[in-house]
Each structure stands twice: as C-alpha cells, then as structure tokens.
C-alpha cells in the first residue's frame, strides 16, 4: 500500500516559503528517515561506535533500525531512541546559559520524554527538571521513560500550564516548550500526520501555542531562557509566534553558534535567529526552534502556599536500610508518599518537596520501594537508578535469559546463578530489574505492564 498523498494546500504553502526548492523538500518527505539514538552518559561510560549527531555529543546515527523492544539495554535505560533534529534543543540550552548544572528547568509539554531525558542529562545531577504533561495517558508514558532513564533529578507533573504559572511564577531558570503542533515535520514517517493536516489545523495550533507560551513566560524568572520548538515548517506556528512574543513581552536575543555543515536554515523574526531543519538539507526530520531571554524586569507575582504536604521525611532509623541500596547514601534524602519510599539528592530535595506540595506530581526522584518488617522490597525504578549500589547482589544474564526475564518468565537457569533472596538481574553489566530466588526457583519481579509480549528468535530480532 502506497503512502498517503501530501495535500495540495501544503505544497502551495511550502512553495511560498522555499520557492522552487520546495520540490526537493517534497521528494525528501517520501524517503525513509534515518534512525538515531542518544545514549545515557550516566550509564554508558564508553562512547558507542557510530556516526555522531554533530549538534549533540551523546547522539548517534544508526545504519539500520533494530527492533529496540528486543534489546535489553533499551529496557535498562542505556539510550533513548530520539530523532536527530530533536536533539538540537540541547545545543540551544548549552549556548544560552553559562552553566548547565544547578538550573531549574520546566519542560512544559514533555511527553513522551525525549527532550526531558535530554535535559535531565544535560543539566546534570545538581539540576532539576520538572516535566509536565496534562494528558493522563501521555503523562504515564512520560513517567515510565523518566524511571527508565534513571537519573533521579526529574519530577513528572500532570497540570495545565496555567496552573503551573499561577503556582510557581518566575520560578524556573529555563522553560522549554515543545508545543503541540500541526506535525508537518512528521510527514516523512507518519501518514496520519499527512491525513490530519489542514490550514485550519495550523490556525488552531497557533492559537493554542500562544496560550501555552503566555503561561510559560509567567513561569520563567527574569533573565531566564525560553526554548520554543515545533515539528512544523509554516510561519504561523514558527516565526509569527516569535514575532508575537517579541511584541507582547520583553525579549532579548541570544546568539548561538551554528556550523554551516549541519545544514540548518537560519531565518529571522523580530530580531531573533530562528532555526529550521528541512529533511532535504539536514540529517533530521522537520523541526523549528528558537531561544529567547526574558528581560530583567520583575513582576509582583508570588508563589502560592502549598496545598498539602505530599512528601513526608522518612524516619532516620530507616536511612540505614534505604541507604544501603544506593552508591552515595550520604548525598540522598528519603521521603514517603503513601506506602512508597522515594530518594532525592540532598541539593534539590527541598525543591522537590516544594513542587510536590503545589502541583500534581505523579513521579519524582527515584522510587525506592516499600518497607516490610524494616526491609526494603525494591521498586523496579531502583534497579534502573544510575547510582545503584554495586554491592547489591547482581546476576549477569545472557541475551536469551535477559529476554526471557523481560517476557516475565522465570527460567530455572537464572535461579541456579542467583544468590538466595532479592538481587538485580543484569545484561552486559547493566541492571534490567529484580528477581527473588526462593530455593530452586525465582520470583520474577518485573512489573506486569512492562512485560515484552512478543517472542522472536535472535535472527529475527536483529534483521532489518
């Protein structure tokens, strides 16, 4: 079955933007996109082999697309499958702030988590990322990807942007808005985006984007940085939004160094540089991005009072048991939320509590697990935490054994390798989850919702 045809209105629009070159863009949109991944620098110590994405030091192009579901390292959070152009926002962040670590960053439209995990690694463990997604099912996917990434410096919230701006006015050093858009940059790999695109959809998205940007501006501190991006080509959702921002608010230009070899098209809007990725010019999908600085004038907005106490500090008598599971217990603070224990780095534990008391937080830090009789039953997220204590019992698995575990099977071969009790199961030295050995059998502790449903042979897994 052939591809869905690109609509004539879109072709005419792009001819108005690119002229005769629009035919090159349309031809590129009918080709196969190149696959790229971004590795987790807190879990992968040696740089992987492969061709680097030039604007992101952790990004790599792949020569073919494996079935990632059948790679245990994917489930371990060693890398994130992310389109190369989307990684460009990290280059904007690096060029816009003097020091990447220690910042408070709000990712306002964060699901499924590609840019959140990028920001999480880039701001470092001393930084704090608040990743927001107002739609419940998308927020769950976001939280799962944050757990898998495993850095412990992210709070996942599920709030309307207006609620965040009202609750935490001028609280963030950086606000990133990867806005819901008409999806023109997805035409190469998503036929549904082609089907759903209309000029009216563009207008509706542009109106919605302005509402979101207004709230993002309120949440940004004076002197802070706004990163705005879309996966579109049209001016209404791109340059015209920058012009509107400059007209409505006190914006300042930020100069970013761009290598001409990257194939990025730089346009101008209200004195600000705007960056376009066109698939016929650059090695990535369609993307628009801009970075602005907020003027220094302060408003009279004040943070609201907490609605509740969401996190209760764990008793000090439990710190010994909780701390033995992590490599740097002296750097951690522990708290309870309901019947579960969570761990936070000391330097942003107060900020995590501050956010949790005011917003609808569905996940934050690292979920440690539950206590039974003074002993921790570890949560799956703790196995994926980058700072899991090396002294925790570990069992190395073959690929076949790792995939059997991820299908939530309990092979007897694994039991013969394990010590009695709970231990981490690893593949190539990376933890993929917990199991408990009870005599000659194991209890597979992988959450049922994470189970890999399909079983294929090694030859089928890696062909393509």
Residues known to be catalytic? 231
What are the tokens at 365?
A: 């830090």
- 8 Å CB contact between 40 and 21: no
To 5 degrees, how large is the angle CA 278–CA 180–CA 100? Answer: 75
Burial string for 245-261 (b: 16+ CB within 10 Å, else e) reads: bbeebebeebebebeee
Which residue, 421, 342, 429, 427, is CA-closest to 390? 429
What residues contact 415, with CB distance under 8 A and at least 6 apart? 437, 440, 441, 442
Reading the block at residue 190, the tokens are: 């998503």
Question: What does the block give as tokens for 129?
Answer: 């990322």
Bridge partners of 176, per DSSP, are 107, 227
Closest CA to 293 of 449, 73, 97, 447: 97
CB-CB contact of 142 with 116 (8 Å): yes
What the block records as the tokens of 278 is: 């066109």
The single residue listed with the structure tokens 């934050």 is 364
Query: 182 with 205: CB under 8 angstroms?
Result: yes
Long-range contacts of 256-261 (CB under 8 A, 24+ apart): 256/91, 256/92, 256/95, 256/96, 256/291, 257/95, 259/54, 259/55, 261/54
CA distance 424 to 447: 14
DSSP codes of every residue in 374-412: TEEEE-HHHHT-TTB-TTS-EEE--HHHHHHHHTT---H
**Residue 359 CA to its chain's centroid (Å):** 19
């Amino acid at each position: 079955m052939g591809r869905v045809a690109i609509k004539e209105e879109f072709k005419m629009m792009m001819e108005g933007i690119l002229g005769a070159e629009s035919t090159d863009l349309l031809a590129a949109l009918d080709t196969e996109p190149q696959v790229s991944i971004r590795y987790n620098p807190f879990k992968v110590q040696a740089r992987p082999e492969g061709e680097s994405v030039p604007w992101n030091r952790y990004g790599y192009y792949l020569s073919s697309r494996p079935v990632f579901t059948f790679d245990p390292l994917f489930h371990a959070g060693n890398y994130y499958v992310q389109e190369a152009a989307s990684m460009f926002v990290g280059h904007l962040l690096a060029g816009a702030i003097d020091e990447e670590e220690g910042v408070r960053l709000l990712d306002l439209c964060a699901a499924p988590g590609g840019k959140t995990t990028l920001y999480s690694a880039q701001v470092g463990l001393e930084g704090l990322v608040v990743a927001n997604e107002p739609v419940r099912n998308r927020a769950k996917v976001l939280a799962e990807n944050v757990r898998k990434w495993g850095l412990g410096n992210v709070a996942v919230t599920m709030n309307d942007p207006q609620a965040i701006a009202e609750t935490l006015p001028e609280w963030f050093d950086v606000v990133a808005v990867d806005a819901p858009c008409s999806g023109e940059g997805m035409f190469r790999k998503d036929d549904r985006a082609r089907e759903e695109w209309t000029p009216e959809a563009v207008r509706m998205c542009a109106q919605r984007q302005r509402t979101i940007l207004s709230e993002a501006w309120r949440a940004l501190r004076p002197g802070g940085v706004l990163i705005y991006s879309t996966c579109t080509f049209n001016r209404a959702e791109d340059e015209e939004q920058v012009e509107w921002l400059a007209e409505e608010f006190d914006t300042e230009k930020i100069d970013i160094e761009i290598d001409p070899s990257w194939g990025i098209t730089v346009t101008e809007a209200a004195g600000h540089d705007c960056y376009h990725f066109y698939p016929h010019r650059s090695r990535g999908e369609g993307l628009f991005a801009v970075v602005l600085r907020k003027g220094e004038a302060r408003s009279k907005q004040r943070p609201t009072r907490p609605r509740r106490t969401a996190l209760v500090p764990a008793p000090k008598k439990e710190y010994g048991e909780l701390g033995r599971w992590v490599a740097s217990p002296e750097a951690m603070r522990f708290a309870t939320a309901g019947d579960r224990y969570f761990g936070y780095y000391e330097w942003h534990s107060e900020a995590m509590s501050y956010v949790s008391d005011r917003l609808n937080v569905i996940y934050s830090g690292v979920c440690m697990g539950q206590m039974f009789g003074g002993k921790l039953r570890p949560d799956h997220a703790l196995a994926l935490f980058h700072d899991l204590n090396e002294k925790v019992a570990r069992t190395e698995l073959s690929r076949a054994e790792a995939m059997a575990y991820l299908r939530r099977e309990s092979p007897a071969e694994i039991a013969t390798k394990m010590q009695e009790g709970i231990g981490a199961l690893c593949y190539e030295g990376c933890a993929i989850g917990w199991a408990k050995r009870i005599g000659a059998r194991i209890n597979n502790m992988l959450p049922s919702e994470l189970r890999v449903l399909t079983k294929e042979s090694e030859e089928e897994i890696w062909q393509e």
